[in-house]
Amino acid sequence: MRLFGVVGWKNSGKTGLVERLVTEFAGRGLTVSTIKHAHHAVDVDQSGTDSFRHRAAGASQVLLASSTRWALMTELRGAEEPGLEALLAQLSPVDLVLVEGFKRAGHPKIEAHRGVTGQGLLADSDPTIRAVASDSVPATDRPVLHLDDTQAIADFIATEIGP
């Protein structure tokens, strides 16, 4: 599977960019999956549901299935957080996996950047960042694309990942 990441500081536009890129690449006929890293505890389950009760009772994994989707929840219960490679192994094969976060991993990335955040560029110290998608014109040696030009960003990624 081809892999490309979107990284950036908080409120830089990462999630919106990934969302638009999924739509763009799917519209081009590619199958796309995403991996999103969160820096805080998350729970996709609802308190009081049967699956929540199974996890609360101590199940290591709970697979919830319906006629429209299924989800596998794995409780780490103090174990080390899995790395990107281990998570990728859990995905079904697709044409492209877009990764939001995991900025320290070695896959190619584009940096989402908004001038109003006042943050410097991650690209200044990360050679895996191939370009910057920004609403301003930051000083960098990487290509700069407009953050809202989804088609141009998708074209850049398509060129980077190859056929």
Rounded CA-CA distance 71/81 in Å is 19
User: Residue 33: which residues within 8 A CB-CB, separation 6 or more?
Assistant: 1, 91, 92, 94, 96, 97, 98
Query: How many Cβ atoms from other residues are within 10 Å of residue 41's Cβ?
Result: 5
Q: Over 90: is that where the pLDDT of 44 sits?
A: no
Rounded CA-CA distance 162/134 in Å is 23
| CATH class in words for 2-42+82-161 | alpha beta
Q: What is the pLDDT of residue 88?
A: 95
pLDDT digits (tens, 9 = 90+) for 67-109: 999 888 898 988 999 999 999 999 999 999 999 999 999 999 9
Q: Rounded to an integer, what is the distance from CA 19 to the centroid of its chain?
A: 9
Q: Over 90: is that where the pLDDT of 123 sits?
A: yes
Q: What is the pLDDT of residue 93?
A: 95
Q: Over 90: is that where the pLDDT of 43 sits?
A: no
For the residues 19-25, what does the mean pLDDT come to?
98
The angle, 0 to 180 degrees and rounded to 10, between the axes of the packed helices 150-161 and 14-27 is 70
Q: What is the pLDDT of residue 138?
A: 85
Q: What is the pLDDT of residue 48?
A: 86
Q: What is the pLDDT of residue 46?
A: 82
Rounded CA-CA distance 1/11 in Å is 28
Q: What is the pLDDT of residue 149?
A: 98
Residues 63-91: b if buried by 16+ CB within 10 A, e if exposed? ebeeeeeeeebeeeeeeeeeebeeebeee
Q: Rounded to an integer, what is the distance from CA 5 to the centroid of its chain?
A: 6
pTM of the predicted structure, to 2 decimals: 0.90
The SS3 assignment for 79 reads: coil
Q: Is 17 exposed, middle or buried (0-12, 13-18, 19+ CB in 10 A)?
A: buried
Confidence of residue 143 (pLDDT cuts 50, 70, 90): very high
Question: Domain ranges in the chain?
Answer: 2-42+82-161
